Each structure stands twice: as C-alpha cells, then as structure tokens.
C-alpha cells in the first residue's frame, strides 16, 4: 500500500491526489492528458464511506462491502484509457458503484449513464456526481440486463471482473462501439479487455493482466453435480 496515502485529512487530500497520479498513474503508461487531468481533479475521497477516506488514494481496490470495491486507481485509469473515450459519445458504466468511473468519463466529455443495482452504493455515487458530474444519468436495475431504454451506447465499461460479457450488454452496443471490462476465467488470469462489435459478433482483445474481484451479481450460478 502507498503509505503516503494514509493519514490524509480534509486539508491534504488534494496533495494525496497529486501523489497518486505521479506515483501510481503515470508510471503505468497512462499518458492520455485528459485522463491524467481528470484523475488529478476528481475528489476520490468522496467515493468511499467516511472510515475509508484516509485510504482513498492508496494503490489498492477498497472494500465497499457485499463483495464490491472501489477499483484501484491504476486499474480504472488504464481501463478508461484503453476505452479510447471520445467527447460527445454515449457511454454506459455497469456497476457504477460510488460513481468514480462514471465521473471520469463525464469529465472527458462523454454522455454517461450510470447503472447500479446496490442502492447504498448508488446513493454515494449520486451524491458525488451531483457536484462533480451532474450531467450523469443514474439508473437502477440488474447489471446483467444493462439499460435498454437508453441504448445503444458507443462505450460500455463494466467496473469489476466478470466471467463473460452478458449478452444483453453486447446487444446494447452501437455499431463500431466497444466494451471495456475485466474477464476473469475460472482457471486463468484475469485480463482487462476491449471487445468491439463486428458483423461476426464481439471481437475480444486482451490488453493487460489485472487483479480485480468478481462482481458478485454477475458471477455464474454454481453448476450442479449429479
């Protein structure tokens, strides 16, 4: 853990945020100046319950309860960068949680819909985005079902690991659109991937290995043995 991120007070969160970018974000080849600027500006400490605020800029994912996490800064930063976000495009963040990834995309000029099924996390996210990215539209509902009412989307970002991309999300992707997610096979290494829509279906391209917990709601049901 980055010890410099610990013990932060309301007076030095900004300094901790700058250290996070300089020590965690830039060294892992996050070089899109828009992403760097957004991560320097967004108050990540407001995306966690009060007890976790001193750890908001640590180099780890933070446990938000019920199997959910605030994704580690260097992971979500790289995921946003490989998404190649374009201003004015429509984006859906699945498992938007406390709003950090959605706010990053909104800061880059995308029109963002945030989908969250956990009402407690969504309440934190809505409060955060009310000041940091008020243009974000929040939706409640099952993560696997996506958001058909607002589809299609040019970009879908799943903020958490999944075994496979839910079919409903693939169906809500615009022509030429892409899904960015972490695919975590049962017997392999989890990988951040870009899946692009083609006439033959989704073409999935792995980009970098990553450690990120599975989204409990999107874990496959256990198979029955006979």
User: How far is Cα 125 from Cα 122, in angstroms, rounded to an integer?
Assistant: 5
What pTM did the predictor assign? 0.92
Which pLDDT score, from 0 to 100, does residue 222 have? 63
Whether 224 shows a pLDDT value over 70: the answer reads: no
2 pLDDT more than 70 = no
The DSSP line for 78-102 is: HHHHHT---TT-EEEEET-TTSHHH
Tens digits of residue pLDDT in 8-30: 444 599 999 999 999 999 999 99
- Segment 115-170, tens digit of pLDDT: 999 999 999 999 999 999 999 999 999 999 999 999 999 999 999 999 999 999 99
Per-residue confidence (pLDDT) for residue 1, from 0 to 100: 46
pLDDT at 7: 44
């Amino acid at each position: 853990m980055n010890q410099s991120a610990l013990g932060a007070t309301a007076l030095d969160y900004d300094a901790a945020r700058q250290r996070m970018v300089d020590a965690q974000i830039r060294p892992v080849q996050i070089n899109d100046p828009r992403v760097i600027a957004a991560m320097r500006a967004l108050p990540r400490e407001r995306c966690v319950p009060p007890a976790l605020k001193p750890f908001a800029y640590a180099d780890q994912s933070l446990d938000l309860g019920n199997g959910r996490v605030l994704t580690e800064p260097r992971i979500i930063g790289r995921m946003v960068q490989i998404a190649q976000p374009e201003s004015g495009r429509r984006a859906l963040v699945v498992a938007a949680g406390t709003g950090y990834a959605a706010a990053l995309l909104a800061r880059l000029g995308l029109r963002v819909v945030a989908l969250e099924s956990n009402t407690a996390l969504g309440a934190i996210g809505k409060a955060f985005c009310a000041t940091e990215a008020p243009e974000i539209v929040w939706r409640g509902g099952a993560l696997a079902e996506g958001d058909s009412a607002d589809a299609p989307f040019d970009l879908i970002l799943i903020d958490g690991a999944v075994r496979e991309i839910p079919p409903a999300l693939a169906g809500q992707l615009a022509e030429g659109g892409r899904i960015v997610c972490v695919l975590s096979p049962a017997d392999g290494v989890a990988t951040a991937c870009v899946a692009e829509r083609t006439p033959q279906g989704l073409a999935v391209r792995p980009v970098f290995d990553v450690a990120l917990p599975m989204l409990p709601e999107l874990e496959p049901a256990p198979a029955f043995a006979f």
